[in-house]
């Protein structure tokens, strides 16, 4: 029953709601980025910069929380949970590679080398050994977040991009390195251990479900699909309204 536990197929509405908030904010943030890249929009840069960071934080945090719930349930059902998360890695990272290829050939100077899908695929694997730490992942989170202050000053090969080590004068419109973003992911694991032990909501956390929030919950259940289609739709609309866009050959 809504408000008592999982409201659909073992899902928790509040998790889908937060995920829906995150993907909705990401659509808005990416639309502003498109306006900046293609049409030279430059208003309220501080606000939109803060908005983009907040969006990314929410999205990565809730992904870590979702991993905690999923993995906690999986390890109770099977002694071999790794194939499931290897498949998840291959799916997400494979889609990330596809985005890399598309942006490399279609967007001049705006290649996505290690974006959100690359990161989430990688995080779903490297988070496995961190599951055992539960709430102590707060300490590991600080390690990755604060460590980025040092790692971000380093420069090296493009193959080190996943860590946060970049070539000089590097630019990518979508970049989520392990330092610091895996720290945010681990904050989600720590929160999951406190509010969803063993993958189930604590009985005392009785959160009533409101149908007013159904749209965002629906979006939260389909974040990957929305993420994959929203940029082609947004760029297509800009192309339709403004004609040829700088850096876009089609």
So what's the pLDDT on residue 125? Answer: 96
Q: What is the pLDDT of residues 41-71, one digit of tens each?
A: 999 999 999 999 999 999 999 999 999 999 9
What percent of the chain lies above the pLDDT cut of 70?
92
Q: Which residues contact 140 (CB under 8 A, 6 or more apart)?
A: 130, 133, 183, 186
Q: What is the pLDDT of residues 205-248, one digit of tens each?
A: 666 666 667 889 999 999 999 999 999 999 999 999 998 888 77
Q: Which residues contact 74 (CB under 8 A, 6 or more apart)?
A: 81, 84
Mean pLDDT across the stretch 2-24? 74
Q: Where are the alpha helices (DSSP H) in 40-176?
A: 45-77, 82-106, 116-126, 137-151
So what's the pLDDT on residue 214? Answer: 86
pTM for this prediction: 0.92
Q: What is the pLDDT of residues 67-101, one digit of tens each?
A: 999 999 998 887 678 899 999 999 999 999 999 99
So what's the pLDDT on residue 115? Answer: 97
Q: At what angle do helices 13-39 and 45-77 cross, to 10 degrees?
A: 140
So what's the pLDDT on residue 119? Answer: 98
CB atoms within 10 A of CB 51: 15
R_g of the chain, CA atoms, integer Å: 19
What is the rounded CA–CA span in Å between residue 14 and residue 192?
12
């Amino acid at each position: 029953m809504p408000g008592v536990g999982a409201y659909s197929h073992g899902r928790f509405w509040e998790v889908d709601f937060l995920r829906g908030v995150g993907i909705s904010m990401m659509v808005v943030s990416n639309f502003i980025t498109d306006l900046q890249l293609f049409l030279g929009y430059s208003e309220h840069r501080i606000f939109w910069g803060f908005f983009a960071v907040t969006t990314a934080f929410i999205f990565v945090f809730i992904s870590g929380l979702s991993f905690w719930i999923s993995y906690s349930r999986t390890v109770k059902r099977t002694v071999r949970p790794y194939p499931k998360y290897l498949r998840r890695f291959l799916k997400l990272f494979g889609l990330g590679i596809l985005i890399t290829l598309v942006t490399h050939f279609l967007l001049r100077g705006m290649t996505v080398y290690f974006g959100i899908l690359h990161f989430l695929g990688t995080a779903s694997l490297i988070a496995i050994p961190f599951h055992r730490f539960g709430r102590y992942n707060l300490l590991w989170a600080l390690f990755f977040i604060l460590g980025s202050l040092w790692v971000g000053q380093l420069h090296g090969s493009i193959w080190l991009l996943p860590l946060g080590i970049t070539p000089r004068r590097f630019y990518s419109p979508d970049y989520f390195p392990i330092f610091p973003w895996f720290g945010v992911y681990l904050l989600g694991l720590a929160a999951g251990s406190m509010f969803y032990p063993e993958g189930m909501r604590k009985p005392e956390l009785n959160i009533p479900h409101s149908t007013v929030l159904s749209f965002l919950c629906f979006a939260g259940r389909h974040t990957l699909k929305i993420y994959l289609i929203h940029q082609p739709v947004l760029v297509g609309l800009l192309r339709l309204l403004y004609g040829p866009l700088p850096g876009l050959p089609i």
